[in-house]
A and B are shown apart, each in its own frame.
Chain A
Amino acid sequence: MNILFFKLALIAYFLSTIGYVTSILVKRVLVAKTSTWILFSAFIIHTIYIVFRWMETGYSPVINLYESLSFIAWAISGSYLAFQTKTKTRILGSFVSPVAFLLMVEASASGGLVGDVSMPAILKGWLVPVHTMLSLTGEALFALACLSGIMYLIQDSFLKKKKSYSFSRLLPPLRDLDRINHICILWGFPLLTLGVIAGSIWARTVWGSHWQWDPKQVWTMISWLLYAFLLHQRLAIGWKGKKAAVLSILAFAILLFAVAGVSILFVTVHNFI
């Protein structure tokens, strides 16, 4: 039953991606507005799916890779939709929507779709879902910060080159992009921090120590430090614009590596299923 909702959500993400891309090509606001509504329904269906899955399996739906990818897609779409209600940044949707769609495709490709996964005993308890859900939501917000950072750099280079580009009309103003970048990091940072703390408390109960010097932990910590630095520069020194955008992209690249790349390249204890 819940697989049906997953597939419906996947289709809706696909449709909204098509819609957003079309809206850029034909430059019609109505198409973009429709795409936002499709993305919104994708988010609702996805929410239903996650709730059903939770009820069906009896554990939080963020245990294996497939569930995590799907959860990130859900969190990114949700955060973007929340921004959409506040600012005129519809174009951000055409960056968010494909990302969510690809995450969903990746999720369905990573094989967890077919019903039950056996739940290792050590992952039982409430700390694991708290750890994963906080971390993943933080990561989703950082992804959004990264996307708006990329758009900032594009718009900035248009303005510095002093030519009239039709694509530049579609991008939001610099100030809005900078604000989104800032707000996402402002919210993402405490979430990731709490997530990591929850994880380390759990680690102590299972492995006997808070910190393992595991590659995944190390890389996450590097990126966490970069975000901490960025947040400090923004709040204390008053960094704005380009520098902040560049650093938020770099920090996210490292975080992405920690989340996805490490398990492939290194042996990590942070690998469960």
Chain B
Amino acid sequence: MSIILIGMNHKTAPLHIRERLSISCEEDSGRTLNEIKKISQVHEVMYLATCNRVEVLANMEDVEGSAEKLKAIILSHGNLSHEEMKECLYIYRDDDAMRHLFRVASSLDSMVMGEPQILGQVKAAYRYSVEQKASGIILNKLLHHAFRVAKRVRTETGIANNAVSVSFAAVELAKKIFGYLHGKTVLLVGAGEMSELAAKHLMNNGVSKIIFANRTYENAVRLANDFHGVAVSFDLLVEKLREVDIIISSTGASGYVITEEMVIEALRRRKNRLIFIIDIAVPRDVAPTVEEIDNVYLYNIDNLQEIVDENLRSRMGEAEKAETIIAEEIVNFASWLNTLKVVPAIVSLRKKAEDIIEGELEKSMSWMRSLNEEEKEKIKILASSIVNKILHDPITSLKDESQNSGADPYVAAIMKLFRLEEEK
């Protein structure tokens, strides 16, 4: 019985291969799961397909050819040739499989390290496997362990700290300035993919009102409809600077759209309430001198990009801490897994002992009839405590041995000496 993980990810497989595999598998992952379950050596299985990876995690007999069967099923799905695939697939066993699973769940293996979605995807894949009754005692424990590892990594390292995209960096800065974004107003000057994305993130974080200003009024109206915002004509820009808290500017204008005088005047009229200005445009929309004004925080695209780069670097550093946590947790899980090897023997040993007590008490019923209930109870307790005392040492030793992976001869000996049947 071993834990085996076969899969491919964004590092090993080019996009066009991942695409074909994950699309064809996602369409009917139920079928894939069932097909894998049919392999006689497979006891438990979980199947995860996302846009960046395909992974099959199985608890199975690792005999000659069994892993090949698993591979074959994956290969048949993407209609890919063996040559194409061989390069991309990786196969991990036992400790390495655990490490890979833990790294995936903790988002160490993700394209953007620390991104939070992957854990949810792993959880969904596991839930599906549970629903299909494809998971059992070992995968259950392993996956719950993986979720715990992911949580530890998230809370004990800074891997998920700090935004690693420009639009998230903007949201994070806004929060450092305003705290809650509820009730805040955003002004979008001009249009563009990145500014719309930033606006969307800000709205998701509580910003309640969005105002669109555009040289072409129709464009402003169109955006306002999409975002449930308000459109204003470009002439009203100065007027609006008074009321808004966050400005995202990305026009194609060659000169400055927002000048120092405009901001100073706006500040005076808004009684110095803080303003956060994000200038995504190239060439710049906002006069650089604006950043020297008190209570105004101006960030241009390079500033944001620098923050993102810095954050990515710090995530790399945190990743090392995360690897240490994972190494610890592998030891923990492996020790549980080892104990599992001796569990059936212990269970049958206990069962046998209990059966003996039961049988002997039954036989003694005739002479025990003269005793009262309390005395009968005492005899029962005496019998089981003698048996437990005798069994205690062998069971403890067996558990100890299991940690040194030398338990097999002891298990065999116990089975033989006590004439136990292995329970299936």
Nearest CB of B to A27, in Å: 7
B294 CB within 8 Å of chain A: yes
Nearest CB of A to B35, in Å: 46
Give Cα distance in the complex from A243 to B173, angstroms.
Answer: 21
Query: Which of A164, A169, A175 is within 8 Å of B310, CB to CB?
Result: A164
User: Which B residues are CB-close (under 8 A) to A242?
Assistant: 294-295
Q: Does B299 lie within 8 Å of A164, measured CB to CB?
A: no
- Given A172-B179, A174-B274, 20 extra CB contacts under 8 A: A28-B155, A159-B173, A159-B177, A160-B297, A162-B303, A164-B162, A164-B310, A164-B311, A166-B158, A169-B162, A173-B175, A173-B179, A174-B176, A175-B178, A175-B274, A176-B179, A239-B272, A241-B295, A242-B294, A243-B294
Query: Can you pick out 18 interface pairs between chain A and chain B where the beta carbons lie within 8 Å of each other?
Result: A155-B176, A160-B291, A163-B310, A166-B158, A166-B161, A166-B162, A168-B176, A173-B175, A173-B178, A175-B178, A175-B179, A237-B271, A240-B273, A240-B274, A241-B272, A241-B295, A242-B294, A243-B294
Residues of A within 8 A of B (CB): 27-28, 88, 155, 159-160, 162-164, 166, 168-169, 171-176, 237-243
Residues of B within 8 A of A (CB): 155, 158, 161-162, 173, 175-179, 271-274, 291, 294-295, 297, 299, 303, 306-307, 310-311, 314
Nearest CB of A to B180, in Å: 8
User: Which A residues are CB-close (under 8 A) to B179?
Assistant: 88, 172-173, 175-176
Nearest CB of B to A259, in Å: 30
Nearest CB of A to B284, in Å: 14
Give Cα distance in the complex from A241 to B296, angstroms.
Answer: 10
A88, A176, A238, A239: which has the most chain B beta carbons within 10 Å?
A238
Q: Does A240 lie within 8 Å of B306, measured CB to CB?
A: no
Give the nearest-CB partner of A242 in chain B. B294
Q: Does B306 lie within 8 Å of A162, measured CB to CB?
A: yes
Give Cα distance in the complex from A187 to B314, angstroms.
Answer: 42
Q: Does B314 lie within 8 Å of A166, measured CB to CB?
A: yes
Nearest CB of B to A91, in Å: 12
Give the nearest-CB partner of A27 in chain B. B158
User: Which B residues are CB-close (under 8 A) to A239?
Assistant: 272
User: Which B residues are CB-close (under 8 A) to A175?
Assistant: 177-179, 274
Give Cα distance in the complex from A238 to B272, angstroms.
Answer: 6
Give the nearest-CB partner of B276 in chain A. A159
A164, A173, A176, A239: which has the most chain B beta carbons within 10 Å?
A164
Q: Does A240 lie within 8 Å of B176, measured CB to CB?
A: no
Give Cα distance in the complex from A171 to B272, angstroms.
Answer: 22
Nearest CB of B to A270, in Å: 38
User: Which A residues are CB-close (under 8 A) to B297?
Assistant: 159-160
